[in-house]
Amino acid sequence: MTHTATAPELATPPHRVWVELGPRSYPVEIGPGARWLLPQAVARTGARRVVVVSARPAEQVPDPGVPFLFVPAQDGEAHKTVAAVERLCVRFAEFGLTRRDAVVSCGGGTTTDTVGFAAAIYHRGLPVIHLPTSLLAQVDASVGGKTAVNLPVGKNLVGMYWQPSAVLCDTDLLATLPERERVNGYGEIARCHFIGAGDLRGLPVAEQIAASVARKAAIVAADERDSGLRHLLNYGHTLGHAIEHATGFAVKHGEAVGIGTVFAGLLAHAAGRIDAARAEEHRVVVAGYGLPTALPAGVADSELVALMRLDKKAMTGGLSFVLDAPTGPELVDDVPEHLVRQVLAGMPRAPLG
């Protein structure tokens, strides 16, 4: 056990979005001070003790209200590995966690992914509560139950579905983010523009998060395990994940998703699915959030195409993308490689950073 922060009075009630999954439904609390709801969230699980895995200082984590072990972690794709999951499970065992206990994550999306996966497989599943501290994690990564870690050959290739018991998105914590990390979080908000969340530009950040989470919650409730509709959440991600991997994660996830969203608009236009004005809207929206819109210089198109073939949506061994259309976006299988290469070749390039 280590020192944690003392709870103040909540200044304002947070937004609440429910992810409706029957007996596995859970709330996503959004707003200033939301993290101070942790003791209540732990109490609802019935846990007798918890392990808190945190990439943030202990002073930022509320006392969970039961005996706990604080385990420091590190954000970043380099730490999102099978080995990291094994180390966490060993700490769970050393502390004596049983199926009557719980795990708490605190950090960015890579931390919620890794801790969520460890919770999912330890004793075949423990309750997990996420306290996402980055905009990217609050908007997307901590919600929906996808947990995964990376392999040397690709991103998110080892994982499973494991819904959290609660997600506490404290917008006060966003004030501590570096500017690049703050902008990075808008990659997922920008792609929400094209999957039914509407135009969120100019809204207060808590409202942007709540609207994005509400759209994701509706999709997850309808298709928890990616059998159809949930593919929409991967808008812009096929190229985005490839860019991350090809650059050794020098391009951050939200930045890469922004570039991938611009590409998705161009590819949909090249395939005759949308007009030029709608394709340009993709670039305008992404740029409007301060995100990059050009491919990183020095990355070969052939490498990006090879990495995109590893994407988890590619069920047939071909190239699959979520693409826009007048009736709304949908998963399109077996997009011709020559068309993909044509669009890549026509995109501008810019130096990393």
Tokens of 210: 């709540």
Q: Is residue 84 part of a domain?
A: yes
Domain that residue 245 falls in: 235-350
Same domain, yes or no: 162 and 262: no
Same domain, yes or no: 171 and 240: no
Which pLDDT tens digit goes with each residue over 96-126? 999 999 999 999 999 999 999 999 999 999 9
Q: Which of 169, 188, 207 is the last residue of a domain?
A: 207
Same domain, yes or no: 300 and 241: yes
Same domain, yes or no: 59 and 173: yes
pTM of the model: 0.91
Predicted local confidence at residue 228, as pLDDT: 87
Predicted local confidence at residue 310, as pLDDT: 86
Q: Is residue 336 part of a domain?
A: yes
> What does the H/E/C string look like for the chain?
CCCCECCCCCCCCCEEEEECCHHHCEEEEEECCHHHHHHHHHHHHCCCCEEEEECCCHHHCECCCCCEEEEECCCCHHHCEHHHHHHHHHHHHHHCCCCCCEEEEEECHHHHHHHHHHHHHHHHCCCEEEEECCHHHHHHHCCCCEEEEEECCEEEEEEEECCCCEEEEEHHHHHHCCHHHHHHCHHHHHHHCCCCCCCCCCCCHHHHHHHHHHHHHHHHHHCCCCCCHHHHHHCCHHHHHHHHHHCCCCCCHHHHHHHHHHHHHHHHHHCCCCCHHHHHHHHHHHHHCCCCCCEECCCCHHHHHHHHCCCCCCCCCCCCEEECCCCCCEEECCCCHHHHHHHHHHCCEECCC
Same domain, yes or no: 70 and 139: yes
Predicted local confidence at residue 112, as pLDDT: 97
Which pLDDT tens digit goes with each residue over 121-145? 999 999 999 999 999 999 998 999 9
Q: Is residue 171 part of a domain?
A: yes
Q: Is residue 228 part of a domain?
A: no
Q: Is residue 1 part of a domain?
A: no
Q: Which of 190, 207, 224 is the last residue of a domain?
A: 207
Same domain, yes or no: 203 and 250: no
Same domain, yes or no: 172 and 28: yes
Same domain, yes or no: 47 and 105: yes
Same domain, yes or no: 157 and 239: no
Counting the structural domains of the chain, the total is 2
CATH code of the domain in which 271 resides: 1.20.1090.10
Q: Is residue 4 part of a domain?
A: no
Same domain, yes or no: 203 and 241: no
Same domain, yes or no: 37 and 122: yes
Same domain, yes or no: 322 and 247: yes
Q: Digits of tens for pLDDT over the chain (353 positions)?
A: 555 565 555 555 579 999 999 999 999 999 999 999 999 999 999 999 999 999 999 999 999 999 999 999 999 999 999 999 999 999 999 999 999 999 999 999 999 999 999 999 999 999 999 999 999 999 998 999 999 999 998 889 999 999 999 999 999 999 989 999 999 999 999 999 999 999 999 999 999 999 999 999 999 999 999 888 999 999 999 999 999 999 999 999 999 999 999 999 999 999 999 999 999 999 999 999 999 999 999 999 999 999 999 876 655 568 999 999 999 999 999 999 999 999 999 999 999 86
CATH code of the domain in which 50 resides: 3.40.50.1970
Predicted local confidence at residue 155, as pLDDT: 86
Q: Is residue 191 part of a domain?
A: no
Q: Which of 188, 207, 226 is the last residue of a domain?
A: 207
Q: Is residue 223 part of a domain?
A: no
